[in-house]
Amino acid sequence: MKRILSVVLAVVALGALAFSAEKIKAGFIYVGPIGDYGWSHAHDVARRIVDEKFDWLETVYVESVPEGEVETYIDQLVRQGCNVIFTTSFGFMDGTLAAAQRYPNVIFAHASGFKRWANMATYMADFYQVYYLNGLMAGALTKTGKIGYVAAFPIPEVKRHINAFTIGVRTVNPNAEVHVRWIYEWFNPAAAKEATEALIAEGCDVFAFTEDSPTVVQVAAEKGLPSFGHYSPMYDFAPDYVVSGQIVHWEKIYEDFLVKIHEGLYTNKNLAHVDYWWLLAQGAVEVGAKPGMVINPKYEEALKAKKVNVPGLGEVSVYDLVFIRLNQMADPGITYDPFQGPVYDRKGQLVVPEGMWLSYDSLITMEWAVAGVVGPWPGEP
Amino acid sequence: MDIASWLVSTVSRALAFGVPLLWGTLGEIYAERAGVVNLGVEGMMILGAFTAFAVTQSTGQPGFGLLCAAAIGGIAALVHAFMTVTLRANQYVSGLALSMFGLGLAGLLGRGWEGKPLGNPLPTLTIPGLSKIPVLGAMLFQDQTILTYLGIFLAFLLWLLLFRTRWGVAIRSVGENPGTADALGINVTLVRYLCVVFGGVLAGVGGGYLSVAYRPSWTEGMTAGMGWIVIALTIFASWDPLQAIWGAFFFGALYHLSYRLQTYLSPELLKLMPYLFAIVVLAASGFGTARHRRRAPGALGVPYVRGER
């Protein structure tokens, strides 16, 4: 057995050698402008990082591509000589699949989707664990017991984030409510601003959000209220008021994927089951106001002062609880999950039984709202 | 929720959101009153937004930033005036081109400026005395910038100018019947140029408000369609500066309420509300009260060539 393994390894290593001389030209297709300071911006930051890191890699990108026209842009990138193409919006899924079948020699990877092919992988860096950690802090900081959440679209990804956040809030503050407002756009600063103002008028005093601009952070800061950044580091927008937040590191996924192609481990034949679902443990996401700053020092004292009784841990401060949970989830052998049963939805139904964790499929198709969420919830089962 | 809180948040947000719409609409009213449709409002606003941000960030002077935004808006409109008045190009095509050009250029120049918060935004005012009045004070005299009050003042001024002065008669006659105006010795080209450029100046300030006051930062595409709402509001206001005031603020109130009311009504429906309302009003204004003032200027959208009818 050992011998067979070593032969296999040798073959792989030889293959890797054979491929390593090859140059990779990777094309990136973005749905938004790279200046959105959100989703497309984060992908482009990652592209520049990997581009600088490897001399065998050349990258090109096209931005603001309408979802229906992705195939035209893929054609264009293939003509330019790209042999790896990343498409970075859910709506690009079917177009990417069609192109993958048309260009069997090109390797494709599609972000946030679920359709794969021999030469098409999928990848996603998800934030639900980080939202939970932010929820713990938010629960400790609210004085009115109302936390505002500005959300883009009522889709499973966003619902998962709101639910994980609310579970965190309720762990610390069992009576607190998370008030949700939908803006039905990924990027519309004016909509995000008015939604935040509406939440402030309702008495919310701590803010989190899932949309693609720093608006919520800015509006909350104007009123002197704390908030949590999202996607890009937003500390600089309000150094006194950004408590923590979600930060993405797409470059971890891009690096892993491209290196494996370069080494010949991933080819245009073996990607049908390659699905990156990368979380804290893989370093694809980070909790913090900015890289390296998990909690804004201005809020350390308040979080240390707030004590909670957590089953299995006894009485701990929220500050310590954040780091305990962070370590449990960042450890490769993950020992904690926010959706750890028992979890009840807001209609009182038990959705995750005692001691159980949610499966990947349940996570990515989540439609229910956890107890503590207040406000409209389109598509609620 | 008590009534006072609803009143305060609705009126105060209506004012804050309505400001860029008001400035833009006042400008478009003047351009259209002189017979030139300018669909480039979105482009002029975004150029204004970027200019105001970049200048304010570099100099620390939001007032100066807004002044530069006004200048850039004016220059962009000058291009439109040249295309449509001098070269007599199709006004709709030229305006659309201006919008696309503005969005593209601002996006390009804005690289490297995004993600930076503005050090000193335009300050919000708390009017001494008046802001102390219960409810009314919080509604009208707090959390607004100078541009809110200046915009309302400007609307009155522009109304007077348009309907109570000889200049106003000249502008309106150029928009109604440039041939007759020309025969009467009015310089049609000059009037149209001035009105279009003035429209651009106001649109530039409206855009600048977004990036130095409303949300003090620069992001590509941050006008997010406000320029198109301005076009609709111009018709909605029947080309009347005074009606533009309540049109802009009413739209602002609807926009804010579409988030405030989400707990009670379906968010999908609420999201449509402001736009639905605009369509209903536009449809309604087509019927009914055919007073001469509700009508579009007679020569709107038609290039003027001396000697042709």
Where do we find the tokens 């949309």?
Answer: A211
Rounded Cα–Cα distance for residues B215 and A242 (Å): 17
Among A318, A319, A340, A315, residue whose Cα is nearest residue A329 = A340
What's the pLDDT at A81?
Answer: 94
For A189, which of B117, B215, B268 is closest by C-beta distance? B215
Identify from B1, B219, B228, B271 which residue to disrupt to test chain A contact, counting A C-beta atoms within 10 A and taking the largest count.
B219
pTM (predicted TM-score): 0.84
Q: Is the peptide bond before B20 cis (omega within 30 degrees of 0)?
A: no
Q: What angle do CA B46, B50, B51 make, to 5 degrees?
A: 115
User: In Å, how far is B265's CA from the nearest CA of chain A?
Assistant: 8
Q: How far apart are CA B27 and CA B23, in angstroms?
A: 6
Is B307 within a domain?
A: no
How close does chain A come to B53, measured CA to CA in Å? Answer: 15
Closest CA to B50 of B130, B104, B4, B126: B104
Residue B248 sits in a domain whose CATH number is 1.10.3470
**Beta-carbon separation of B116 and A181 below 8 A:** no
Residue listed under structure tokens 């009576």: A175
Tokens, residue A133: 């950690």
3-state secondary structure of A13: helix
Tokens of B304: 């003027």
- Record the tokens describing residue B299, joined without a space: 């020569």
3-state DSSP assignment of residue A197: helix
Task: Say what the pLDDT of residue A124 is.
Answer: 95
Buried b (16+ CB within 10 A) or exposed e, A121-132: bbbbbbbbbbbb
Number of neighbouring beta carbons within 10 Å of residue A211: 27
CA-nearest residue to A375 within chain B is B263
Question: What amino acid is encoded at B219 in this protein?
Answer: T
Q: CA A323, CA A338: separation in Å to the nearest integer? A: 14
Which pair of tokens denotes residue A157?
């990804």
Res A18: pLDDT: 44
Q: Would you place residue B116 in the very low, low, confident or very high pLDDT band (cuts 50, 70, 90)?
A: confident
Per-residue pLDDT, B287:
62
| ipTM of the prediction greater than 0.90, yes or no | no
Nearest to B210 by CA among B110, B130, B282, B277: B110
A153: chain B residues, CB-CB within 8 Å: none
Give chain A's mean pLDDT. 91
Which of B117, B226, B256 lies closest to A194 in CB terms?
Answer: B256
Tell me, yes or no, if B17 comes closer than 8 A to chain A by beta carbon.
yes
Residue A9 has a pLDDT of 53
Tell me the mean pLDDT in the region B162-181: 94
Give contacts of B214 with chain A, Cβ < 8 Å: 190, 193
Taking an 8 Å cut-off on Cβ atoms, the answer to whether B262 and A182 are in contact is yes
Spell out the residues 6+ positions from residue A333 whose beta carbon is closer than 8 angstroms to its own: none
Q: What is the least distance, in Å, from the CA of A294 to any CA of chain B?
A: 20
Q: How far apart are CA A252 and CA B54, in angstroms?
A: 33
Please report the domains of chain A, with CATH numbers, ordered by start residue. 2-126+250-282 (3.40.50.2300), 128-229+306-374 (3.40.50.2300)
CA dist., res. A344 & res. B150, Å (int): 53
In a domain, B1, yes or no: no
Question: Does A198 sit within 8 Å of B259, measured CB to CB?
Answer: yes
Chain B, nearest residue to A234 by Cα:
B115
Taking CB atoms and an 8 Å cutoff, what residues of chain B touch A194? 13, 17, 255-256, 258-259
Alpha helices in chain A (DSSP H): 2-20, 39-53, 70-79, 93-102, 128-141, 156-172, 189-201, 215-222, 250-262, 300-305, 318-330, 360-364
SS3 B182: helix
Q: Is residue B6 situated within a structural domain?
A: no
Q: Residue A20 has what pLDDT?
A: 45
d(CA B242, CA B249): 12
Inter-chain CB proximity B1 and A202 less than 8 Å: yes
Residue B309 has pLDDT above 60, yes or no: no
Identify the helix (H) or strand (E) that includes residue B116.
none
Q: How far is residue A174 from each of residues A155, A336, A364, B148, B300, measured CA to CA in Å?
A: 26, 20, 26, 43, 62
CA nearest to B220 within chain A? A35
Element housing A380 (H / E): none
Q: How many CA atoms lie within 13 A of A79 on its CB side?
A: 6
Residues of A in contact with B117 (CB under 8 A): 214, 218, 236-238
Instruction: Tell me, yes or no, if B1 comes closer than 8 A to chain A by beta carbon.
Output: yes
| Number of Cβ pairs < 8 A linking chain A and chain B | 103
> In whole numbers, what is the pLDDT of chain B averaged over residues?
90
Check B215 against A219: CB less than 8 A apart.
yes
pLDDT (tens digit per residue) in B229-271: 999 899 888 899 999 999 999 999 988 998 888 888 888 888 8
Interface test with A, best of B2, B139, B223, B262 (most A CBs within 10 A): B262
Whether B53 contacts chain A with CB within 8 A: no
| In-domain check, residue B182 | yes
pLDDT tens figures, B192-223: 999 999 999 999 999 999 999 998 888 888 88
CA distance A247 to chain B (A): 14
B260 contact residues in A (CB cutoff 8 A): 198, 201-202
Q: Has residue B146 been placed in a domain?
A: yes
Rounded to a whole number of angstroms, the distance between the first and last alpha carbons of chain A is: 51
Q: How far is B215 from chain A (nearest CA, A)?
A: 7
The whole domain housing B41 covers 12-294
What confidence score (pLDDT) does residue A22 get? 75
Cβ contact, residue pair A33, B262, below 8 Å: no
- Kindly give the parts of chain A with pLDDT less than 70: 1-21
Q: Rounded to a whole number, what is the distance in Å from the CA of B221 to chain A's nearest CA? A: 8
The HSE-up count of residue A298 (CA atoms within 13 Å, CB side) is 13
Q: Which of B155, B183, B166, B217 is nearest to B29 (CA)?
A: B155
H-run or E-run covering A208 = strand A206-210
* Residue B265 φ then ψ, to 5°: -125, 160
CA distance B209 to chain A (A): 12
The structural domain count of chain B equals 1
The backbone torsions φ and ψ at residue A64, rounded to the nearest 5 degrees and listed phi first, read 50, 45
Q: Provide CB contacts within 8 A for A371, sequence distance 6+.
A: A166, A170, A344, A345, A346, A348
Determine the residue of chain A that is closest to B259 in CA distance: A195
Helix (H, G, I), strand (E, B) or coil at A155: coil
pLDDT band of B292, cuts 50, 70, 90: very low
Distances (CA, A) of B106 to A214, B53, B221: 19, 11, 8
Contacts of B259 in chain A (CB under 8 A): 181, 183, 191, 194-195, 197-199
Instruction: Flag whether B299 is in a domain.
Output: no
The tokens of A146 are what? 């109302």
CB contact under 8 A, A35 and B268: no
Q: Which residues contact B35 (CB under 8 A, 6 or more apart)?
A: B174, B175, B176, B178, B192, B297, B299, B300, B301, B302, B304
- Report d(CA B291, CA A349) in Å as an integer: 61
Angstrom distance (rounded) from CA B306 to CA B178: 9
* Chain A: closest CA distance from residue B256 (Å): 6
- Closest-CA residue to A282 (of A312, A327, A252): A252
- The answer to the question of residue B3 being in a domain is no
The one-character DSSP state at A373 is: E
In tens, the pLDDT along A319-347 reads 999 999 999 999 988 999 999 989 999 99
Judge whether B118 lies within some domain. Answer: yes
B142 close contact with A: CB closer than 8 A:
no
CB of B206 less than 8 A from some CB of A? no
Q: Which helix or strand (DSSP H or E) is residue B107 part of?
A: helix B91-109
Residue indicated by tokens 């049908």:
A272
